[in-house]
Amino acid sequence: MSEEQNEQVSETGIYCANCRYCVLFRKSSGVDGNQYLLRVKCAQEQWRKKLGEEKMYKYFTVARRTVEKCDDYKEMGDLRSFLKALRKSLPVRDEVYTIKK
């Protein structure tokens, strides 16, 4: 990270959503497998529960996920404009999506 990025990060924390390792994926939901929920996880496995299990978060909360420091953080672009666009496009609650066949 550059010195400017370090200053920006130290003030606000690191927004995980702006990292290339923050991955969006589908999690199956429903009995027949035609429904799914959107979840995010860290591809570098930085999000862990106390017992070591990998932690996943609901997609609509991704803009709130921050950490103080992360050795694997790889910024994807300008933080301010990215977060502004992300917050406009995120759903307001957890939604169930249906696969159309």
Mean pLDDT taken over the chain: 87
101: enclosing H helix or E strand: none
User: In 3-state terms, what secondary structure has residue 28?
Assistant: strand
Residue 13 has pLDDT above 90, yes or no: no
Reported pTM:
0.79
Reported as a pLDDT band with limits 50, 70 and 90, residue 11 is low
User: What is the predicted pLDDT for the residue at 33?
Assistant: 79
Residue 1 has pLDDT above 80, yes or no: no
Q: Is 80 exposed, middle or buried (0-12, 13-18, 19+ CB in 10 A)?
A: exposed
Segment 14-54, tens digit of pLDDT: 999 999 999 999 999 877 778 999 999 999 999 999 999 99
Number of domains in the chain: 1
Tell me which residue range forms the domain holding 59: 3-98
Beta bridge partners of 99: none
